[in-house]
Amino acid sequence: MKKFFLNVLATVVGIIVFLLLIGFFGMMSIVGMVASSDATTKVKDNSVLVLKMDGSLEERASDDIMSQFAGVVGETIGLDETLNAIKKAKENDHIKGIYIEGGMFSGIPASQQELRDALVDFKKSGKWIVAYADQYSQSSYYLASVADKVWLNPQGMVDWHGLISQPYYLKDMLEKFGVKMQLAKVGAYKSAPETYISDHMSDPNREQITAYLTGIWDNMLNDVSASRKISKETLNALADGVVMLADPQDLIKNKLVDKLMYGEEVKGEVKKLLGIDDDKDISQINIEQMQNVKESRKGDEIAVYYAYGNIVDDASTGSLTTTEHLIVGKDVSKDLEKLAKDDKVKAVVLRVNSGGGSAYASEQIWHAMMNLKAKKPVVVSMGGMAASGGYYISCPANWIVAEPTTITGSIGIFGLFPDFSGLLTQKLGVKFDEVKTNKNAGFGTMSRPFNEEEMSYLNSYIDRGYKLFRQRVADGRKQSVDAIEEIAQGHVWLGKDALGIKLVDQLGNLDDAVKKAAELAKVSEYHTSSYPGKPDLFDEIMNSMSNAGDNYLNAQMRATLGEYYEPFMLIKNINKQNAIQARIPFYMNIK
């Protein structure tokens, strides 16, 4: 017995020592990451910037200390970090070229275009770009096509299939559980509610999807055709022919790629471009390291405030996952108020990438934008989307810049109200009785759907919200309400079409928006600062630890469910959404 207790004690001591060692090395790793993030990176001569295009392109990369510690990185690619890296690489004499490593890359079309335009601009410096992949997704090939040379593994693939949008519809499935959605809306083109109340695409929605999908594809065709010297007709024919399954030799014949080679052969080609011997190592630098390359910060400050994700009243509502970025109305309003009071900031660029969300939160941000504009110039830079609520918060700006393929407009509003009475009374057998003092005391009760009179009240409320939205746009764009009504009704527009109907002022990227802000502020020398700032290390660690379980489960569910993950989470969190919405569908489903 004595020996047994000694063995148990030794085991307990061993476990404690092991945990202490794990904690020590964990903290050392975190300290190392922090130290490396704060250190200034020095670029070696004859270096190559490596862009790994394998993952999802987001507006800003999410920092998750615990994920980095566990080795889970590279799932998202930050557009702002990548653009910053390319710009620095263009101006740095030690960097001779860019190596694009293609893969299963994806992103909103306008964000992809902004990244591709940055690569085109990089080439103006006279430096080279080469690309290689075992397999290119359509999005990664779109980026890689700008390269001087596009290489592929001898057994590799190039996916080039065109674009498709496949909205999903949940009405019949919800009814199986006894749940129905009651709708009040304004706007024939306002398609977001169709997900819940229909089983097919409406004619107005089909019209607008056809228009913007065709416009995006035509833009991609023009870009790839110009870079690869392939006619648009040929590119369409290749897309029709499932080129992904073609013999790699045919890809060379059709000029999609320049050469087939294995990975180690690529190194030899890059060494030739650098003019170094075969036995020498290639000096590489990645996107993250480029963030720490010192740059000049002269002149006045132009603030770039990033507003991306679903617009919500509170951080506890509206998110499909624990890691999804949100535009929290009250938080953004406070941040804009601080920028208005900051005398060092001479102008503000609001970078918007949002399909909208809560109409109430959108109105609060609109008010904060108006107060900000009263103090200093405000320019909006539209990213992948700035539609519905995303347009609501943009319209007060002095100037609006959009990408040609930005999805914008969608001036409309709706309210969705779940009716759970069928689930409760028919499926679960719950019975209700009532005593009331006034006629509409039971307004919003779960025991029954809204009646005709109650729906009339809701429709009046939604109509009032739509008129306010329309007035906000008319005031911001200096047009009549009637002129706005002609292009409203929830209609979605591409940026290049929005320019012609005066919803935006200029086609361009974030740099163009910054230049315009500096011009309006009448400053000739300036630098930019990004807002909101990243959380401090302690908050970041605590947030990562508190969400670690949810993040892991979400990652596993996403891997298991694939394209069905999003509708599943939409159903799971159906009660978290603000009932009154100014948004387009959560997922445009452009593939």
Which residue numbers are catalytic?
Answer: 190, 388
How far is CA 116 from its chain centroid?
A: 16
- Assess whether the previous peptide bond of 248 is cis (omega < 30° from 0): no
Query: Inter-axis angle of helices 232-240 and 203-228, to 10 degrees?
Result: 120
Look at residue 490 and give its three-state secondary structure: coil
Q: Name the E strands within 60-195.
A: 76-78, 95-102, 128-136, 149-158, 180-186
Token pair for 495: 């940026």
How big is the chain, counted in residues?
Answer: 591
Mapped onto helix, strand or coil, the DSSP state of residue 131 is strand
Q: Which of 303, 461, 457 is nearest to 372 (CA)?
A: 303
Nearest to 165 by CA among 195, 124, 120, 186: 195
* CA 475 – CA 481 distance, rounded (Å): 8
Task: Please tell me the distance from the alpha carbon of residue 583 to that of residue 563, in angstroms, as a whole number.
Answer: 21
Q: Which two tokens stand for residue 586?
A: 């959560």
3-state secondary structure labels for all residues of 401-446? EECCCCEEECCCEEEEEEECHHHHHHHCCCCCCCCCCCCCCCCCCC
CB neighbour list of residue 331: distance below 8 Å, 6 or more residues apart: 315
Q: Judge residue 390's burial from the number of C-beta atoms within 10 Å of its C-beta, 0-12 exposed, 13-18 middle, 19 or more buried.
A: buried
Pair 349, 380: CB distance under 8 Å:
yes
Query: If residue 4 lies in a helix (H) or strand (E), which one and from where to where?
Result: helix 2-38
Handedness of CA 182, 188, 191, 195 (dihedral sign): positive
Are 349 and 305 within 8 A, CB to CB?
Answer: yes
Comparing CA positions, the residue from 236, 256, 56 lying closest to residue 144 is 256
Count Cβ atoms below 10 Å from residue 479 Cβ, excluding itself: 16
| Cα–Cα distance for residue pair 148/166, rounded to 1 Å | 35
Q: Which two tokens mark 368?
A: 């904060």
Distance in angstroms (rounded) separating the CA atoms of residues 221 and 218: 5
What Rg value do the Cα atoms of the chain yield, rounded?
27
Chain-centroid distance, C-alpha 588: 12
Residue for token pair 């670029």: 43
Task: Tell me the backbone φ, ψ of residue 438, rounded to 5 degrees.
Answer: -135, 160
As a whole number of angstroms, the distance between CA 222 and CA 353 comes to 24
Cα–Cα distance between 407 and 336 in angstroms, integer? 24
Amino acid occupying residue 58: E
In angstroms, the CA 243 to CA 245 distance is 5
Spatial distance between the Cα atoms of 222 and 142, rounded to a whole number of angstroms: 11
